[in-house]
Amino acid sequence: MTEKREYVLIEHEKPWTYEEDGLKVARGSAWTGPGCHIGCGVLLYTDENGRLVKVEGDPENPFNEGRLCIRCLALPEVTHSTKRLTYPMKRDKALRGKNQFERISWDEALDTIEAKLKEIAEQYGPESVLFMQGTGRDIAAWISRLAWSYGSPNYGFPLSGLACYLPRVSGMYSTTGSFWVCDCSQQFPDRYDNPEYQDPEVMILWGNNPLISNSDGFFGHWVVDLMRRGMKTIVCDPRMTWLGARAEIVLPVRPGTDAALALGMLNVIIGEDLYDHEFVELWCYGFDELAERAKEYPVDKVAEICWVDADRIRTAARLFANAERACVQWGVAVDMTREALPAGQAISALTQITGNIDRPGGMIIPPELIFYGGGFGADLLTPEQTNKRLGMNQYPLLKFGFATFQPDVALRAMETGDPYEIRGLWLQTTNTIACMGADPKRWLAAAKKADFIVCTDLFMTPTIMALADYVLPAATYPERDGLRIGDGPQRGETINKVVQVGECKSDMEINLELGRRLNPEAWPWQDVKEMFTSMIAETGYDFDGLRAVAPAYPRYIYRKHEKGLLRRDGSPGFNTATGRIELWATVYANAGLDPLPYFEEPEPGPGSTPELLDEYPLVLTTGARNWGMFHSEHRNIPRLRSLRPDPLIEVHPDAAEKFGLKDGDWVWVENQLDRAKRRVKLWPALLDARFCSTDHAWWFPEADPEKLYEVFDLNINNNVTWTPGKSGFGSNYKCMLVKLSKVEEGETHD
Amino acid sequence: MAEYGILVDYEWCSGCHSCEVACQMEHGFEPDHFGIKIAELGPWQIAGKKWQHANIPLFSEQCDLCAARTTQGKLPTCVHHCQAACLSYGTLDALAAQLKEKPQQALVALR
């Protein structure tokens, strides 16, 4: 299908590549690896030896307007790090965990992997191989196609409860038929100057610090742009952050109680008649039922649950509802609680009943160049194989949208062989035992049962050291061509290869070359550029054509529901069963779930297991990002590591005194499950002395490989269980009860 | 006599370190050398709900105001890459006029 479409382009002063002072400069997009959630416009400078010497932000690119974070600025030291994996390797299965890899050729690696995967498919069925990836990588389309073209329905993430963005995304699709983001003018190439655009008056920053996390296609410093233009903010965060210090109101919510807070705010907005009657009447379904449910959450009760002052909740609700234009920029804290789906539903309802829907400065539906939410090539699977996807029978919501396995069900299959044995693991850029895997020792023990394990990554990791039989070296983004289509509002951009490091290949190249061997009809392309051209055929550009003009913006239209642009039948409304935004969700009711938002105490927690408070008196939240690191990456880049040499736990001075701790002490952070090491950072900006907060995904690349780089000393997910929500979405990664005790000299985890 | 400098709107410096690393990469500095470095002022609670939490970039002797870049018509790399867009480069006269427009700014004469 080739459709003539209209794009809004920007003027470029120069072609996409040019010479400057003896260096070659290439314009393009910064995605990935290393991991990243956004993909800024960059200028890559290479010298006559083919080395990347400098990365600059592209001032012409409207997305970041020349600005750039330190992980891209320091990228030459990542791409050319001497620690990179630069050739394929193998290791005897009996030697897993030993630092005894042997260099092999790509031909040997691909020949053996092809033969082994075909053998497993024949003997046990292709469903017995799981294909897994990490986050923030441009590989979902290709790894899912690799899995499906091989015949396995089991593509996904080794993350309990799929607790990162998928609960929110699936929730939004289930209840509104679309996907929603804050309007920061990012859909317009002329940005804040666009005549149709208006700034939000109020933005809630809920469960994320976007300046550092830059998640889901959202360039965090747009918030600062808007604040300087006069926007007010409400910050929901247990810590007083830099943004909090500049906010109108801070709601220091107890980790894991976000749903209650949102329901309390709904109670105020409905109870005080501050909602948008016209919007609710015309476009929403189930308002009366929602109003009844919100009555169960009076503010005083919510204040007690959330440990937030009741008047502050009321003031925040009024400020938000009374604003002409308001939006919610939310983060992964919403997903990383077990009942994430109703939490996201309650927060979404705040924007819906106030009518902040697809209008300037509200929540907008990001435009799409190509739809990629459902993966790339689901049609390659037979219905028989599709039905074998792990978790689909237990969790009917998995039938909608993202076609991933349910990770908790997958773990049980790895452990028990129920409903079938797992024989092979394909781990592409996921450092599971350092990062997203809960209870990583449990996951590792289950993974070791597989007969055959292939890992692909940029660097050696604890996960590769523990598990890999074959290791394939992946490329950083300056080493590859690629498409940057985007999370959030899509724009057509390309990633442009300017250097080659060792024998590294891009993730897409690896998937194409292996895919072609396993199922040639599904991978008919000569090379990745031909594959990309075929993928973007509907845009009317080929790869080279898009590269020349990028970024290409689809023309944006507000109020699509009024214009009949959201439903296949062309009638006004939203793409749901009722044609309305469903405050009472038909899809949830049909799946046997509560159709209305609700709050359930995280377990364990102060509300559900008060008897544990004597032993574990602190509420810990985890996963706060720091500037120089993307999840488990960048510990081996000295310039970036120097900003955060050690894993830190922020402890309130009053709590530290109680535990006899001082700044810089190494402590065990322990709960009923296990413990992990951290260094104490006394931090008065924790807004309740019972809160503490730590970063995640730590390992020491400088430590002994055969001690797995001390990952089990350092991984805070030692304290997290595999316990998903009722829908299969959500898990308690960010709210647990802990105690702190000093690490004795030389003491290790085991 | 100095003619050029940088105006810092430190009300909005988020502490993202982009200026520091951009400067190090531009000049080939090791990680412990800085042309520009951020000092963190806070956090502490002043009174009631108000908190002091600011970041203030300081300039070292190794700052040459990116002479090689500015002669080509480019911005100093710290100004170019500042994520909060809180740094401005220009003549001291022009920046002094901007300085009067709002509080919580600092003007640094550099060359």
Question: Could you give the angle at which helices A340-353 and A287-295 cross, rounded to 10 degrees?
Answer: 120
Domain boundary pick from A561, A590, A619: A590
pLDDT classification of A3: cutoffs 50, 70, 90? very low
- Contact with chain B for residue A240, Cβ under 8 A: yes
Mean pLDDT of all residues belonging to chain A: 96
Confidence of residue A220 (pLDDT cuts 50, 70, 90): very high
Q: Do B18 and A69 make contact, defined as CB atoms within 8 angstroms? A: yes
B6, B89 in Cβ contact below 8 A? yes
DSSP, res A286? -
Interface test with B, best of A13, A23, A69, A73 (most B CBs within 10 A): A73
A1 confidence band (pLDDT: 50, 70, 90): very low
Partner A contacted by B21 (CB < 8 A) = yes
Residue A133 makes CB contacts below 8 A (sequence gap 6+) with A139, A140, A143, A157, A427, A428, A429, A430
Q: What is the mean pLDDT of residues B79-107?
A: 97
Residue type (1 letter), B60: S
Q: What is the mean pLDDT of residues A279-296?
A: 98
When pLDDT is averaged across residues B56-81 and rounded to a whole number, the result is 97
Model pLDDT for residues A497-537, shown as the tens digit of each residue: 999 999 999 999 999 999 999 999 999 999 999 999 999 98
Residues A582 and A656 in one domain: no
Nearest to A57 among B44, B52, B81 (CB): B81
A-chain CB neighbours of B14 within 8 Å are 211, 221, 224, 242
- The verdict on A688 and A581 lying in the same domain is no
Helices vs. strands in chain A: H and E counts, helices first:
25, 29
- State the alpha helices, DSSP H only, in A152-286: 166-176, 210-213, 222-228, 242-245, 258-271, 277-283
Torsion of CA A144, A150, A154, A156, to 10 degrees: -20
Phi, psi dihedral angles at B65 (to 5 degrees): 55, 30
Number of separate domains in chain B:
1
**CA-derived radius of gyration, chain A:** 25
Report whether pLDDT(A105) > 80: yes
User: Do residues A214 and A318 share a domain?
Assistant: yes
- Mean pLDDT is lowest, of A129-138, A395-404, A409-418, for A395-404
Extended strands (E) in chain B: 4-8, 36-47, 50-59, 87-91, 106-109
Q: A374 falls in which pLDDT band (50, 70, 90)? A: low
B11, B12, B13, B14: best mutation site toward chain A, by most A Cβ within 10 Å? B14
Whether the CB-CB separation of A494 and A478 falls below 8 Å is answered with no
Q: Give the residue numbers spanning the domain of B53.
A: 4-109
A70, A224, A628 ranked by CB distance to B12: nearest:
A224
User: Residues A465, A709: contact at Cβ < 8 Å?
Assistant: yes
Residue A425's φ and ψ, nearest 5 degrees, are -130, 130
Average pLDDT score over residue span A142-166 = 96
Chain B CB contacts of A66 below 8 Å: 80-81
- Which of A209, A639, A683, A693 to substitute to test the interface with B, most B CBs within 10 Å? A639
What number of residues does chain B have?
Answer: 111
* CA distance from start to end of chain A: 59
Averaged pLDDT for residues A162-185: 95
Pair (A242, A298) in one structural domain = yes
Domain shared by A586 and A685, yes or no: no
Question: What is the arithmetic mean of pLDDT over A403-414?
Answer: 97
CB A39 within 8 A of CB A493: yes
Q: Is residue A17 part of a domain?
A: no
**Domain termination site, one of A590, A620, A650:** A590
Closest Cα in chain A to B26: A54
Q: What pLDDT digit, counting tens, does each position of A455-496 carry?
A: 999 999 999 999 999 999 999 999 999 998 877 788 999 999
pLDDT of residue B8 exceeding 60, the answer is yes
Answer whether B29 touches A (CB < 8 Å). Answer: no
Residues A571-582: tens digit of each pLDDT? 999 999 999 999
**In this model, does residue A400 exceed pLDDT 90?**
no
- Those residues whose C-beta lies under 8 Å from the C-beta of residue A68, and which sit 6 or more positions away, are A40, A42, A55, A56, A57, B18, B22, B81, B83
How far apart (Å, rounded) are the C-alpha atoms in residues A272 and A328? 21
Rounded average pLDDT over A662-677: 97
Instruction: Assign residue A203 the CATH number of its domain.
Output: 3.40.228.10
Owning domain of residue A655? 610-742
- At B104, give phi and psi (nearest 5°): 55, 45
Task: Report the distance separating Cα B56 and Cα B11, nearest Å.
Answer: 9
Residues A220 and A308 in one domain: yes
Identify whether residues A579 and A646 lie together within a single domain.
Answer: no
CA A255 – CA A670 distance, rounded (Å) = 17
- pLDDT of A232-261, one tens digit each? 999 999 999 999 999 999 999 999 999 999
Are A236 and A334 within one domain? yes
Residue A417: pLDDT band with limits 50, 70, 90: very high
- Residues A116, A110: Cα–Cα separation, whole Å: 10
Cα radius of gyration (chain B): 14
Are A582 and A728 found together in one domain?
no
E runs forming strands in A14-119? 17-20, 23-29, 41-46, 52-57, 89-90, 102-103
Could you read off the pLDDT of A340-368 as tens digits, one per residue? 999 999 999 999 999 999 999 999 999 88
What token pair was written down for B104? 């919580």
Which of A133-147, A185-199, A417-431 has the least mean pLDDT?
Answer: A133-147
- Sorting pLDDT into bands at 50, 70 and 90, what band is A399? confident
- Letter string b/e over residues A30-66, b meaning 16 or more CB atoms within 10 A of that residue's CB: bbbbbbbbbbbbbbbbbeeeeebbbbbbbbbbbbbbb
Integer Cα distance of A295 and A342 in angstroms: 16
Q: Confirm whether the ipTM is greater than 0.90.
A: yes
* Least-confidence region, from A102-111, A583-592, B42-51: B42-51
Q: Quote the number of domains for chain A.
A: 2
Beta partners for A682? A651
Q: Is residue A208 part of a domain?
A: yes
Between chains, do A211 and B85 touch, taking CB under 8 Å as contact? Answer: no
Residue A345: DSSP 8-state: H
Tell me the per-residue pLDDT of A44-68, one tens digit each, with 9 for 90 and over: 999 999 999 999 999 999 999 999 9
First vs last C-alpha separation in chain B: 8
Q: Model confidence at A12, in pLDDT bands (50, 70, 90)?
A: very high
Return residues 39-98 of B near A (CB < 8 Å): 42-45, 49-53, 55, 77, 80-85
- Are A578 and A668 found together in one domain? no
Strands A424-428 and A452-457: parallel
Residue B47 binned pLDDT confidence (cut-offs 50, 70, 90): confident
Q: Does residue A671 register a pLDDT over 50?
A: yes
Kindly tell me if the per-residue pLDDT of A649 is higher than 80: yes
In percent, the amount of chain A with pLDDT more than 90 equals 93
Q: What is the C-alpha to C-alpha distance for residues A194 and A188, in angstroms, rounded to an integer?
A: 7
Residues 6 or more apart whose Cβ sits within 8 Å of residue A160? A407, A408, A438, A720, A721, A722, A723, A724, A731, A733
Identify the pLDDT of residue A367.
86
Check whether residue A228 and residue A312 sit in a common domain. yes
What is the token pair recorded at A485? Answer: 């289509």
Q: Among all residues of chain B, which has the CA nearest to that of A56?
A: B81
Give the domain CATH number at A646. 2.40.40.20
Which CATH number is B20's domain given?
3.30.70.20
| Pair A270, A345 in one domain | yes
- Position with higher pLDDT, A379 vs A438: A438
pLDDT of residue A401: 66
Question: Cβ distance A434 to A699 under 8 Å?
Answer: yes
Q: Which two tokens stand for residue B68?
A: 């090689």
Chain B nearest CA to A298, separation (Å): 24
Determine, for residues B85 and A221 on separate chains, whether the beta-carbon distance falls below 8 Å.
yes
Size of interface A-B (CB pairs under 8 A): 91
